[in-house]
Structure 1
Amino acid sequence: MAHLPDVVLGPLRVGTTPVTLAVLFSEPLLFAAHYATVADILEWPDEIEATLASVRTRYGAHDAVLDLIDTLRGQVPMALSADLARRMAEGMELHTALKNSEDTYRNACAECLARQREGLTMDDFPEEITPGGRLALLARLLEFSPAQTRVMAYALVYTVVPAAQLFTRMFSEQRWSRPLFWQTLLDLDAESLAGALSATGRLAGSGLLYAKEGVPRMSEFWMELLVKTGTRFEEGLLQALALKDSSGGAARLPADDREILVVLLARREPGINVLVHGKSSVDKKRLAHGLVQAIAGGAYTLAADIPEKDRPAAVMVAQRLLARRPGRVVLVVEKAQAVLSRALPDGFAFFLGLTDEDEEARPLDERLLAENPVPTLWLTHEAKRLHRDTLTRFLFHAEALKGTRADRLALVESMIESLPLAKCHKAELAKLEGLSAQQLACARTLATMTAGRSRKIFARDLLVATTRSQKALARRGKDEARIPVTRYSLDYIHAAGRFGPAQILQALKRRPQGSLCLYGLPGTGKTQFAEHVALELGKPILIKHASQLFDKYLGESEKRIAEAFDEAEEEGAILLLDEADSFLRDRSRSEHGWEVSTVNELLQRMERFEEIFICTTNLFSQVDVAALRRFTFKLEFLPLTLEQRWAMFLNETGLRGKPIAEKRQSAYEERLAFMLDLTPGDFATVKRQCLLLGEELSPEAWLTQLELEVKAKHRSKVDEGPLLRVS
């Protein structure tokens, strides 16, 4: 093969060395196999050429070749092509003709070897465009020694050239002469050859070669990459990390983790390996892309068509190719568990007929993680499949968590930015838990097909398609956190206690861990405050109601409580337990043993929980005293003050900033003041009525509806008339 070293040099050396030449002549078929590797370049006297020509004439017919192949089938260790079978026939005829004149054959090989060496220069193997050039590049990247490079080069020859494969396999069967054969073939002394073939060497540790029939060879992938030079070498290994639509939902990293990774990935130092792990339901690839964008770097990944068994070697070479590039670059390796194998590399000492018992060989994963010259992000959803020794070698471990509503909104914005979608519709899409880029892409395509020029139909069909997709994927649907229908502000919370809502929120931002007990009348904003905390902290919220956790069977309630805490911990979510009085009932009043065990289980899980746990209750007096001691903050939510009522009324009726007659304002304020236990929840109920009916209420109508809501909460006191109770 043109521009490939050792196609003929190795076999020619075997034909010029007396000991190996004697072995060739002792076996006619072995001699014929050797001849087949060098037949095209050997020059013969006329009488020998005439002998060979007669053989070619004899096997020129198709049927004759088929008979020849059939005859040789049981005598050689591999299937033969018609051309190789003819060469074998010529070789056997030549063996008979030269049986008593070995020097003739040796001289022909020696003259040819001298010509080949004289014509072989480095200019024959320019990098990139020839197999020899690519071999040299690979050797430089992986820092192979000259001896290791020669072994690799012949492994390629063996893989590509059938005649070389046949000859090598047949000679390797001569066990007593095997060491001498390899030394002669590769032109190496015994010590250099043993070092090149050692399991501790760089060649064995690269994973580029594997053994078959006792001979080194390359995989189909590496062979094609080196031989098929129509495309650039790098293109066969690397591609820019593209944001393809994934079925995984939006992902996020804890703020501390992200800050650390941005600093790490910006450095050009060897040994920077980061494991990004998380469930298969989150899009870690998009997360990795965002991290590299944050450092203004280039993100690359392995070419998609690299077979799994070749990916470890591909990672090693890709890292070194990227190291030659200027600027910040990061390699992103997907399915890390399939690449980072703890298997020890095969030593190739058996080529010499020896057993490699070297105990210093380093596993493949150790080499990949210890010697990488550029930052590498390893992605996996199966971290448990990685060996403990492998896991400890990563510089940093980052868990990709399920994205929050803000993350999903960012995903929607990035994919729908050029399409006619109102802000409210984007917010509706962002509510869908686990929403993925692939779902959005399909829904966008459908809506484009069905909507024509109608923006309204486009929005409708996009929302319908995504919600149907959620249902088909058995995803939970919308997340638990609601978007307030009224204008939300901490100023509208009337709370009793030394520490107010704003103070508590700031404390949780500094250290997002602790437990809160929120109690008070319905509608005072307990649940909405918990949802606001989640939004401000950028965390998902997992809401559990008593009806979801209680079970009539013994031990099942405790099990469900444990599962709720585990789920929240896995997702890095705030856990909100609504109707907590059902679980934290005073144990002194318990009538059944299971009630005590349920409270105990909840208290134990609270103490071990490393996220934020929030309980809400309307029956604070019934909560177990020992349980109350375990809450970091206890916050009572009260009805709105007069000032808060007036502020909310101005906001929701649209009167803020508009002139109001003094007499009318006084009337409005008086009606608000006499509403018993007016809460933000009452304003939200009236606002939902407006949205459902599609009507704008006048200030007077707002007051009337609020009065009806207040009376509905106190049905037993309707006849007593309006009462004032404002704290």
Structure 2
Amino acid sequence: MSRLRKFLADKAVFAEPLEIVRVWTLRALMELNGHREFVMSTCFSSDALANYLGLGDWVEDADGNFNRKTIRQELQRRHRAVEADANSQTIPAPLSGNAQRLATRCGLSDTDCRILEFVILIHNERLLGEAVDSLGHVMTRDLPLILSALLKLPVREVKDALRSTSALAQSGLVKVDHGSLDLTGKLEIISDDFAERMCATETEPMTLFRDMVIPTPPAELGIDDYTHIAPSLAVLLPYLRYALETRKKGVNVMVYGVPGTGKSQLARTLARELECRLYEVTSENEDGEPINGERRLRAHRVTQNFFGQQRALIVFDESEDVFADGDSRLDRKSTAQSRKAWMNRMLEGNQVPTIWISNHVDCLDPAYTRRFDMVLELPIPPKAQRQRIIQQSVGELLDTVMVRRLAGLETLAPAVVARAVEVVHPIRAQLGQQTVDDAVELLVNATLEVQGHAAIPPKNDPNSLPETYDPAFISADVDLAQVGKGLMRNGVGRLCLYGPPGTGKTAYGRWLADQLGKPLLVKRGSDLISMWVGGTEKNIAKAFKEAAREDAVLLIDEVDSFLQDRRGAQRSWEITAVNEMLTQMESFGGVFVASTNLMDNLDQAALRRFDLKVKFDFLRGEQALALFTRYCEALGIAAASAAVRREFGRLGKLTPGDFAAVARQHRFRPLATAEAMIVALRAECEVKEGSFGQIGFL
């Protein structure tokens, strides 16, 4: 006896198997010649099976009397004995009753039920499984003959039951795996837990699938939390209501977006609005183990038979398991691609409306995309909405300032905050209020970093508008305050701000948004340029779409990085990026601000699309002195004397950015006097190219 067989024989403890199992076991061994592998030259392939069949005297034969011919004759005798009484052997009541209930729901024939019962038992009864696997490699074409011999069913009926279009196959309960070689692998059950429950006790069919399909919890968000997709919901809700009332087939909706935007909650909210039940195809079993995409699809197929007559929706979360689980590098197709025809039929004929949820749809085959009734992107909510959702999830845990800081980050999904709060809330007693805020910030920033996003801006954000900001301190060729008033009246405009670095172009965009009472959406050239073909154009379109959705002022900094003159373009994407930019500018109905340090390189057609081109320059003398005085007051520095002001006048080419840089230095290298501030400003000026000359007001 091998060590492995000895180990299994010692460790296994079996209840007395069913008599019908004994019948099928001996048929497999004798009628289908499984004994050739079971009875080896000097031992059995399974001692446990031998003991069960009454061959125990040969299991521990120490006298060398193991004789294959004698054992085969004994097996023949036992086979004849069980066949004489085979018609009186029945399937256990729990299995038979559950199979009949499934047959009623799924439209299974008597032959289908017999096969289903057999497949469940070969997976549930180890000895039967060992017996049928002694048949060796089984070809798919031989399955009808094998099952006909074992179950005493007509070959034609078995063949029909095993067809891919049969009721049994369409139910998803049993699948013929053409890649497996042994019989238990060839006849695959939907799940081992399902097989166990089928044999345990008679129960309602849905209980049999509780590890694969579950009712979802109630929605935590309301329809008012999704106002940022109101136009889509205005179509989706009536359509789903119509589908439920008319039992329309082939209704599928794809909802996608970055993690944490509330996609799963949206499905629950829709079900509540439609007053219907919502069931989820789970991604893991009761033990927390993942369920692969193929088995999840089979579970989805099962739901069609159970809920087709109910007012219900199905949600298939993490649908990447099906549509994007392949690997092109290994030439391995996704689950959906390897079953393309079947998937297409399912998407066109499913009885229960299904909401498919994914974090991305980049890998979705166009053949599937066109079969979805709606493809809905769920973006991160706009700032006001984020703040309301975050406030609801944090309660009194965080102060108002912290909530505003969290809501101000456009890449932060509310679910990330909710997860951080779940961690911090139980230990809040050991933390002070400041430490609680810091702990949440720590957890959120860690997640943002992994996602490739910027961290939460610090409390003293250097990119925020300084208290000293005033458009009067900007040297421009137009009255910037008047421009702001005009945009407040009209609400639409396209501005191009150009000039040297630090002259206040970006800050003016922030001031403008503040004056208009709108959020500011800032995108830099590096945010929009993509390494992928078509990616830059997609990012540009997404930026304008996001600004329109949030009713935000869109500020694109460093616009020269992708809006260069097409006449000098050397790559095709440089041309298509400009074309996309022009298209979006033409159709945008809000305030768009572009800034650049390199005006001469911009595309001429793009320049014509701007309503106003504003030149920002170095500060004029009186502006520089006024700003110098303002910063001295803000930093608590004594007023400058006349001599100091004369010294200040010798500085050349000052910008508001120079003053902002010196103010930031003051935080860690305090400036005690106006003279020290001049020294710091001079250092900033000296690093600029061609900064010689005086301001010229003295």
**Quick check: TM above 0.5?**
yes
Question: Could you say which residue in structure 2 is the equivalent of 1:544?
Answer: 524
Within the candidate set 424, 427, 435, 2:404 is matched to: 427
Q: Which residues in structure 2 correspond to 1:139-154 (within 5 Å)?
A: 139-154=103-118
- Answering whether residue 42 of structure 2 is matched by residue 71 of structure 1, we say yes
Question: Could you say which residue in structure 2 is the equivalent of 1:333?
Answer: 316
Give the whole-Å Cα distance in 1 for the aligned partners of 2:366 and 2:47: 45
Whether contact under 8 Å (1:301, 1:332) holds in the other structure is yes
Distance 1:10 1:392, change over 3 A: farther
Describe the SS at the equivalent of 1:393.
coil
Describe the SS at the equivalent of 2:210.
helix
Question: Could you say which residue in structure 2 is the equivalent of 1:277?
Answer: 256
Give the C-alpha shift of residue 289 in structure 1: 3.8
Question: Could you say which residue in structure 2 is the equivalent of 1:364?
Answer: 342
- Answering whether residue 278 of structure 2 is matched by residue 299 of structure 1, we say yes
Question: Could you say which residue in structure 2 is the equivalent of 1:83?
Answer: 51
Give the C-alpha shift of residue 133 in structure 1: 2.9
Describe the SS at the equivalent of 2:153.
coil
Within the candidate set 196, 207, 222, 1:224 is matched to: 196
Within the candidate set 199, 218, 231, 2:164 is matched to: 199
Q: Which residues in structure 2 correspond to 1:352-391 (within 5 Å)?
A: 363-391=341-369
Question: Could you say which residue in structure 1 is the equivalent of 2:606?
Answer: 627
Whether contact under 8 Å (1:443, 1:462) holds in the other structure is yes
Describe the SS at the equivalent of 1:271.
coil
Question: Could you say which residue in structure 2 is the equivalent of 1:702?
Answer: none
Give the whole-Å Cα distance in 2 for the aligned partners of 1:448 and 1:14: 57
Give the whole-Å Cα distance in 2 for the aligned partners of 1:112 and 1:454: 76
Q: Counterpart amino acid of 1:285? A: S
- Answering whether residue 230 of structure 2 is matched by residue 255 of structure 1, we say yes
Whether contact under 8 Å (1:527, 1:616) holds in the other structure is no
Question: Could you say which residue in structure 2 is the equivalent of 1:311?
Answer: 296
Give the whole-Å Cα distance in 2 for the aligned partners of 1:618 and 1:421: 39
Give the whole-Å Cα distance in 2 for the aligned partners of 1:82 and 1:299: 50
Q: Counterpart amino acid of 1:73? A: F
- Answering whether residue 105 of structure 2 is matched by residue 133 of structure 1, we say no
Distance 1:593 1:533, change over 3 A: same
Give the whole-Å Cα distance in 1 for the aligned partners of 2:597 and 2:516: 23
Give the C-alpha shift of residue 416 in structure 1: 0.7
Whether contact under 8 Å (1:440, 1:466) holds in the other structure is no
Distance 1:8 1:475, change over 3 A: same
Give the C-alpha shift of residue 198 in structure 1: 1.6
Distance 1:105 1:190, change over 3 A: closer
Give the whole-Å Cα distance in 2 for the aligned partners of 1:170 and 1:144: 29
Give the C-alpha shift of residue 605 in structure 1: 3.2
- Answering whether residue 550 of structure 2 is matched by residue 573 of structure 1, we say no
Per-residue CA deviations over 1:576-613 (Å, capped at 9, x if unaligned) read: 2247689879x8xx9x9689999977642323448748
Per-residue CA deviations over 1:640-674 (Å, capped at 9, x if unaligned) read: xxxxxxxxxxxxxxxxxxxxxxxxxxxxxxxxxxx
Describe the SS at the equivalent of 1:137.
helix
Distance 1:26 1:456, change over 3 A: closer
Q: Which residues in structure 2 correspond to 1:606-617 (within 5 Å)?
A: 606-609=581-584, 612=588, 614-616=592-594
Whether contact under 8 Å (2:162, 2:176) holds in the other structure is no
Question: Could you say which residue in structure 2 is the equivalent of 1:701?
Answer: none
Per-residue CA deviations over 1:414-445 (Å, capped at 9, x if unaligned) read: 3112x243333211121233245345433564
Gap runs ≥5 in structure 2: 1-16, 59-67, 327-338, 469-478, 548-553, 617-655, 668-693
- Answering whether residue 94 of structure 2 is matched by residue 109 of structure 1, we say no
Whether contact under 8 Å (1:543, 1:576) holds in the other structure is yes
Whether contact under 8 Å (2:214, 2:280) holds in the other structure is yes
Describe the SS at the equivalent of 2:390.
helix
Per-residue CA deviations over 1:86-141 (Å, capped at 9, x if unaligned) read: 45769987974797xx8x9757634452x446xx7xxx74xxxx333333333333
Give the whole-Å Cα distance in 1 for the aligned partners of 2:407 and 2:485: 36
Whether contact under 8 Å (2:509, 2:555) holds in the other structure is no
Whether contact under 8 Å (1:239, 1:302) holds in the other structure is yes
Distance 1:493 1:154, change over 3 A: farther
Describe the SS at the equivalent of 2:314.
strand
Give the whole-Å Cα distance in 2 for the aligned partners of 1:450 and 1:474: 29
The number of residue pairs the alignment matches comes to 536
Give the whole-Å Cα distance in 2 for the aligned partners of 1:601 and 1:209: 49
Give the whole-Å Cα distance in 2 for the aligned partners of 1:484 and 1:630: 31
Question: Could you say which residue in structure 2 is the equivalent of 1:723?
Answer: none
Structure label with greater radius of gyration: 1
Within the candidate set 178, 186, 203, 2:151 is matched to: 186
Q: Which residues in structure 2 correspond to 1:493-504 (within 5 Å)?
A: 501-504=488-491
Identity of paired residues, percent?
16
Whether contact under 8 Å (2:324, 2:363) holds in the other structure is no
Whether contact under 8 Å (2:420, 2:440) holds in the other structure is no
Question: Could you say which residue in structure 1 is the equivalent of 2:267?
Answer: 288
Give the whole-Å Cα distance in 2 for the aligned partners of 1:439 and 1:498: 37
Give the whole-Å Cα distance in 2 for the aligned partners of 1:97 and 1:421: 79
Give the whole-Å Cα distance in 1 for the aligned partners of 2:208 and 2:346: 21
Deviates more, 1:441-450 or 1:132-141: 441-450
Describe the SS at the equivalent of 1:71.
coil
Describe the SS at the equivalent of 1:239.
strand
TM-score normalised by length of structure 1? 0.57
Distance 1:147 1:98, change over 3 A: closer
Whether contact under 8 Å (1:495, 1:501) holds in the other structure is no
Q: Counterpart amino acid of 2:236? A: L
Question: Could you say which residue in structure 2 is the equivalent of 1:414?
Answer: 392
Give the C-alpha shift of residue 298 in structure 1: 4.0
Give the whole-Å Cα distance in 2 for the aligned partners of 1:565 and 1:531: 29
Distance 1:517 1:338, change over 3 A: same
Q: Counterpart amino acid of 1:223? A: A
Give the C-alpha shift of residue 159 in structure 1: 1.9
Q: Counterpart amino acid of 2:546? A: A
Give the whole-Å Cα distance in 2 for the aligned partners of 1:558 and 1:163: 59
Whether contact under 8 Å (2:496, 2:595) holds in the other structure is yes
Whether contact under 8 Å (1:277, 1:381) holds in the other structure is yes
Distance 1:604 1:174, change over 3 A: closer
Q: Counterpart amino acid of 1:153? A: E
Q: Counterpart amino acid of 1:543? A: K
TM-score normalised by length of structure 2? 0.59
Q: Counterpart amino acid of 1:147? A: T
Question: Could you say which residue in structure 2 is the equivalent of 1:58?
Answer: none
What root-mean-square deviation, in Å, do the aligned CA atoms of Structure 1 and Structure 2 show?
A: 5.8
- Answering whether residue 175 of structure 2 is matched by residue 209 of structure 1, we say yes
Question: Could you say which residue in structure 1 is the equivalent of 2:683?
Answer: none
Give the whole-Å Cα distance in 1 for the aligned partners of 2:450 and 2:25: 67
Give the C-alpha shift of residue 314 in structure 1: 1.2
Describe the SS at the equivalent of 1:401.
coil
Describe the SS at the equivalent of 1:157.
helix
Whether contact under 8 Å (2:391, 2:403) holds in the other structure is yes
Whether contact under 8 Å (2:32, 2:135) holds in the other structure is no
